[in-house]
Structure 1
Amino acid sequence: MAPLNLLKAWLKSLRGGQRALLPGVQVGQARANAEALQAGLDLSSDGIVLLDNTGRVVAFNSCAQALMHSPLGNLQGADFWNAVPEEIADEYRSAAEQALLETGSHTFAVRHAFEDQWVNYCLRRHADGLLVTLKDVSAIHRASRLLRSSEACNQTLFDAHPQAMWLFDTGSRHMLAANHAAAALYGMAPEALGALFVESLFPDGEGGALLDSLPPSDFQQEMRLCTQKKANGERMLVELSCSSVQWALRPAVLVSVADVGARHLADAHLSRLNEELEMRIEQATGELQRSRGELQAFTSAMLHELKAPLHVVDGFATTLAERHGAALDAQGHHYLARIQASSLQLARLIDDLRTLTYLPSMPMTPERVDLAPVCQRLMDELHKREPARHLVLEMEPALPLVCDKNQISLALACLLDNAWKFTSRREQSWIRVGLMPGKNSAEIVLSVSDNGAGFDAAYTGKLFTAFERLHASVDFPGTGLGLAIVKRVAQLHGGEVWAVAADKGGASFFMSLPQNPQDADSVSGSPSAA
């Protein structure tokens, strides 16, 4: 209020000068007071205009002159309402004069459209006239405009949101607002819903206990499952998602409501279906196990019953050859040889069928095995069957592998027998056995390759199917079950099998076998002849 005090001192000196001529000292003092007053006004960051009791300007600062946008060049001595733009005087003069008479002060805000500037005028009466302060409040008005725009946008989003939502006051628990989706959910108008207390939405006093359980301070996404009632009294199972917010500068809770009755009914129905499905699976599993047991019993009995008459046929054929061979002509010896060969073929088929049938029930005992001695033993047995054959076996001195020894030995015997058979017409034949890394460090691939007759790549998919033959049995005899046994062994180990035909004859068969990383050895080096 320093400018006002200076004004009082200045006016006092003027009044004294009107009563008598002022001595030179008094005139100098008045001039000093006026200069001090102007200096004080110029120091203010707001616009200040001092008016006498007649409403004329007696002092002002440069900030006030800029904010007033006055049409006058000099404000000194001008009537205040003539000093401001005409449209401001027309709009605010009457109300300001009335308010000054009644309360002694009046405030209004003016917008200068061209500059997009808002100026706040504050008029206050004192004993010697009026004090007018002007303040640039453009930033406040722009922030207020943005705030109102944001609030309007939020309100629009709130009203149009498809999720049912409502707000209530934290203290009074009175509903503050509800959107259209909430009104449709509860079956009442948004205004009627917004006039309720929260507890009225809950049946049998459930609302009080639930709301009391919410955290007392700021919180986000508190989920509650409860029952609510509609306007017609119908109850519904809902899931409430509650979050603390500020609504119109008041602490409130925003509640999102989801009708989950249908979902819970669907979950209950799905649960019943799952129980029924599990029961059916259990029953089907039991029936499958019983059928499998019956099939195994039947297969065992059938193979046993087939083996007995087969031994009889082979025994009589052998006796016939020993006792009456001299009496038979060439045709008779041919028939007898065919009988013995067919008996041997049928015996091998029965053995392979028994092996293929009982493989899944064989105990699995993984252990660390060196396949090199196993391969050598199997090749020695093949050489005993055909001592005249000359074949080179190429393999590393050691072939370490983690597997079930009995099953892998069986699969390796089938692969080597297959390679031995299809290289029989080669003058210089070889079989190569090796190990190589698989798709990752937990897998090793066993490979058996040969330079035999090979196969047509178009029929690769049939190679590992039981009784599928890509060559005539007259050319390359066999049961047609060897590669099916290899595939079953690989599957029991959790691996796969595949084959690749060479361009100039020969074939390579592969079996992937999962390994534990700490048990699998890296495989490298050149093959050696055995």
Structure 2
Amino acid sequence: MTRKHRHPEPDTPSGLAEVHDKALLALILATAIAGPLVITGIYLQQGRTHLLEVALALEAMALAMLGLYLTGHRRWLPHLLVYGLLLLSTAGVVAQGSIRGASVNVLLATVVGAGVFLSRRAMISVAFVAVTVLAVLTFAEQQGWLPAARLQVSWATWVTHVAVLGCLVVSVTYGRFRLEQTYQAQLAALDRASRVEGSLRDTEHRFRVLFRNNPAACIVQSMSNLEILDANDAFVTLFGYGRDDLVGVRPPRMWADAQDQLAFRASLDALGKVEGQRARGVRKDGSEFDCVVWAEIATQDTERMIIAMVMDVSAELKSRRELEQSNERFAKAFNFSPLGMTITRLSDGRFMEVNPANERVLGWPMADFEGKTSLEVGVWLSESDRQDYVNTLRRDGRLQHFEARMRTKQGEVVDVRIWAEIIELDGEPCALSFTMNVSAEKRREAMLLRVAEGVSPTTGQAFFLSLAEHLADAVAASGVIIGELRGDHSIDTLALLTDGSLQPNRDVPIAHSTYTRLLASDELLVIDTPSRQVLQSTPPFDPDQIQMIAGMALRDPDGTAIGLIAAVWPADHPQEPAMRALLTIFASRCNAELVRLRRDREILQLQETLEQRVQARTEQLQYLNRELDAFAYSVSHDLKSPLRSIDGFMHLLQEQMAGRTTPEDEDLIRRVMTAVTRMNSLIADLLALARVSQGQLQRMEVDLSDLADGVLRQERHRDPTREVQVTIEPGLKANCDPRMAQIVLENLIGNAWKYSRQQPQARIEIGQDKSAGSVPPVFFIRDNGAGFDMARADRLFKPFNRLHSANEFEGSGIGLATVRRIIERHGGQIRAEAAVGQGATFWFCFGTGQEN
């Protein structure tokens, strides 16, 4: 039988000392390990000697003691350390051959350690042994019995001295620490004594004011004449009288019932005191209240007094009545709840209350719970399960939908869901829990999960195979067949499962089989009779092994039967509503997939001819586009010659008719020449539009910032009087045809320059939209000019469409159409945003290299 050791508290002086004893012991063990390890390394250079063996023995002893320290066996470690060092230091002196060696220091350190760790008697014993050993070794050295001493100063000697000095310093430091701890403990004791003395002085004052400040109504009366000698503030407040109305006079009427007053006097006369008499009190305003009265007769000098205390318990009685009503309602709710309700102690799981519904939920009657814990009853599967429940409840304070597993009285393990909250009964934390058996719900969830898996998002052949497996599992069928109708005589199976295994697909004849009845029915058909006359052939299933089949036809949206799905059972299977619902769900999803599969086949057939037609139509459109571009180029080119003739003849006519024309004639000639100039501009723009549709794009890395700067220099040269603030973001790079990019910038910057000329402070900004990403880069050109109405933006990029009149701004209406065609040929996009009078912004990109 082991003796239990009581460990002192760590915040007491003895507890602190023990903690530091352990720390000091650990430090000395570390020194005892490190020192011999270094000495061993030094002696190894000298070869194998007796001192090396002593150092190795000391290292082994220190490591063994460290193992004892780490495993908690520290009780005998100081003794082992002291006596081991005593023995090994003696061996070291013998190995060195002289008491003048470094090993004697270890012997001295051993005596110091004994003084620190061991009792006084043990320390004296160790000291006596050390003195005796020194005497014997001295005598032996004098007689020459020891091996010849070869006292050479080495680093091992220095390490030994340092280790010994370290132990001495630690021991002295610890001794000083213990002395300081003792001194501090004495100071703390004196401080506590001083506080106790002050507390005693305060007690007298507290008793003096206790009566006055007592929250209970207190009164002192004389026994001789019943005059009130004193009343505290609580009494004055409770009864509503002033202090002058009470002190020095007989008390007014304070009892609502005279019988209560007579009972009070009788108890006082018989026992000399009244303990907790219930009564009804009357205040000065006539209102009554429930109270409890205590009184006792006291004697001061020769005068006898009645000291009475009155407690108003009206609120308490009201709360008690409400609590009783609440308890009654709780008891009704507790006992008649359909959920299993229990109140258990959190400390040990002992049942305090159990309602009758637990027998229906888990099969345990109330009598099985009386005076037992949940583990004794066997509700929880293991202690760890209950502990997990308790830990979660303690952490969160309540549980909502806590999932667990419990055991019924019949031994069945069921899934439950628990709602719980911590309440306190008689100062003991308890768990009020509501338990619901959800095993049936879990089974339904599992069944629905199998349904969901069966109608999984896979398609094609994999879908039908998966559906067959999950259908058989969901309805416990021995076989499932899913097939597509081929004419009127057979079906091509999409999935076939027999005895739990998938079989290769095959062609199944259906003439004169039960399947014809399934195909003729518009709803789920269940045949559950074993009569062979009703249950005909069911290929590939043996009709002799089948007693029930359920299935339905799969139909096209127009109602035509295109396939079937069926499940078979070897024995009569109960026709539960869930089974019929599952079969209907699986059949509906199978029908949709089969319809989709047939539509995919039709689409594939159409695609085979569609690609050929699209290729032919594309070649035709490309030919027409080339012809249209050639026609536009030819027409534009051929119109130039007549226009040059008209322009030349009009100049000749103006020269020949000089001085003979009227102002009206001059105006007509000027209009004709203006129309010719405009026609020339339109033809030039048409030729430019035709050119951008011809030839191959030469894409390369283009610096748009340089191109834009050149375009702006041209605009400033044409209109040197304008002051326009222009901002061009440097380093704008694009992969495009440089010639085409030049045309895009000329049109967009030219428009910005033209439409902003009516602004006193015109601004044009050219940059890259960083928010649009980097591939491909999106650029913008922004101005603060005339802008346009976004309701008419659909006409912006169409040829010959203008959003401003020719009187406001000149132009042909082809420039933006040319820009759009260039951008589209690069595979890019262009868009614009504007507001009337607030300017416009054009965003564009050159695509990623996919040309149109």
What's the TM-score once normalised by structure 2's chain length?
A: 0.32
